[in-house]
Amino acid sequence: MPELLSLQEAQRLVLERAEPLAAEVVSVAEAAGRVLAEAALAQVDLPPFPSSAMDGYAVRAADTPGRLPVVARIAAGRPAPRALAAGEAMEISTGGVVPEGADAVIPVEYVVQRDNDIEIGDAVAVSVNVRPRGGDVRAGAVVCPAGVRVSVAQLGALAAAGLTELRCARRPRVAVLATGTELRQPGEPLGPGEIYESNGPMLAAAVAAEGAEVERLPPVEDDADAHRAALERGLEADVLVTTGGVSVGPHDLVRTIESELGVDEVFWGVAVKPGKPVAFGVRGRTLVFGLPGNPVSSLVGVELLVRPALRALQGLTEPLPRFDVGVLGASMRRTPTRDELARARTRIDGERVVLEPLPGQESHMIVRAAAADVLVLVPRGKGELAAGEAVRYLRLS
């Protein structure tokens, strides 16, 4: 039996074929989760003027300690009426423009007010409580580089730096198709041999979480004509994700019909457990994933292959899933020929993340898998990994 493709090799073959999609203009307000196609540059200095960090009094540090007359009151959004002269103070609010001539702000709690004067007991250092113009970023400098997904903080930064529009890769259009005569929609009564169609909604949620626009095609029976019609439609998307029908049974039609429709298969079979019979191919620029029907196999396939492809299509510079390091809470048997993605729950123990493997590791057990918050990567090999051993894990969303 030829050796199966490794997971790393499969991911490389997928990413090689996932060219970033064309960019489009997106308003900053809509940009959370979108991937920047080019670096976003600050439009202004931030802060745009020397601004006060406190409610207090703008002074010259050299005039402290001492008693100073308050000659003006500066509200946020209104510049000082004139420069501050030696021996003067001006009341100022947080975010107010520190006037010319002032070089420090004394918080209101540190002064004693006497009529229209303030008394300052201690010497104040130059620059205290003054936020210099451009101290956060200078106009023209990079606020966010290309190839990152705009985070919540970045959205704030982009707006603060005066950006209104960004260039982002367009969202990939992803068609999701479930195959199998046994599948019924949730809500319908189950006849003999039937089960609820659960992979479609699960995969649709996973690809939507990755920023894709999802088209859910109606599930098809294990019938060649039904497959042909649905797959033809799905192949018009940027990415087609099917589930079921990629094994070796007589009713597994997906690969055969896709081949008739001009899909070039890149690989079929990867050394992972669960999810081995996964297929990947291309037709033109469309990426075509055939995930196995067992629900946990589909879950592993979408996390390890489909989501990375969607990130690469959106131009993310690091499209591969990010594994962290934790320690096993119990020993785990290894599989000789396949890397296993075991379902586990994390627990924090002091400085360590402990991974507790869950009972019910079979590929049909989606309810058991749903109790997991991570997939633990158990590298293929002989024997077992001992409790306490360091392993890598992938957080599930």
User: Strand, coil or helix: what is 272?
Assistant: strand
H helices of 173-306, in order, are 199-209, 224-234, 254-260, 295-301
> Which region, judged by CB under 6 A, interacts with ligand AMP, from 118-126, 164-172, 239-247, 327-335?
239-247
CB under 5 to 8 A by kind: which of ligand AMP, Mg ion, none does 38 bind?
none
Distance (Å, whole) CA 234 – CA 286: 10
> Is residue 361 part of the contact set for ligand AMP (CB under 6 A)?
no
User: Strand, coil or helix: what is 313?
Assistant: helix
CA separation, residue 260 to residues 71, 132, 136, 255, 359 (Å): 85, 66, 58, 9, 42
* Contact positions with Mg ion (CB under 5 A) in 287-306: 293
Distance (Å, whole) CA 79 – CA 130: 15
> Which region, judged by CB under 6 A, interacts with ligand AMP, from 244-252, 259-267, 324-332, 378-386?
244-252
Q: Which residue lies nearer to ligand AMP by CB, 129 or 243?
A: 243
Q: How far is the CB of 164 from ligand AMP (least distance, A)?
A: 43
Backbone angles phi, psi at 336, to 5 degrees: -60, -40
**Binding test (CB under 6 A) with ligand AMP, winner from 245, 274, 315, 319:** 245
**Binding test (CB under 5 A) with Mg ion, winner from 244, 281, 290, 295:** 244
Q: How far is the CB of 191 from ligand AMP (least distance, A)?
A: 13
> Is residue 180 part of the contact set for Mg ion (CB under 5 A)?
yes
Q: What angle do CA 273, 276, 278 make, to 5 degrees?
A: 135
CB 130 within 8 A of CB 107: no
Q: Which amino acid is it at 215? A: E
Structure-token pair, residue 71: 């000659």
* Closest CB to ligand AMP: residue number: 293
Q: How many residues does the chain have?
A: 397
> Which region, judged by CB under 6 A, interacts with ligand AMP, from 130-138, 288-296, 315-323, 386-394?
288-296
Q: Which residue lies nearer to Mg ion by CB, 49 or 196?
A: 196
**Using CB under 6 A as the criterion, what x/- string covers residues 188-207 for binding ligand AMP?**
-------x-xxxx-------
* Contact positions with ligand AMP (CB under 6 A) in 169-188: 178, 180, 182-183
Q: How far is the CB of 9 from Mg ion (least distance, A)?
A: 26
CA separation, residue 271 to residues 3, 14, 267, 305, 339 (Å): 8, 15, 12, 13, 6
**Using CB under 6 A as the criterion, what x/- string covers residues 42-81 for binding ligand AMP?**
----------------------------------------
CB 246 within 8 A of CB 234: no
Residues binding Mg ion (CB under 5 A): 180, 244-245, 293
Residues binding ligand AMP (CB under 6 A): 178, 180, 182-183, 195, 197-200, 243-245, 247, 249, 292-295, 364
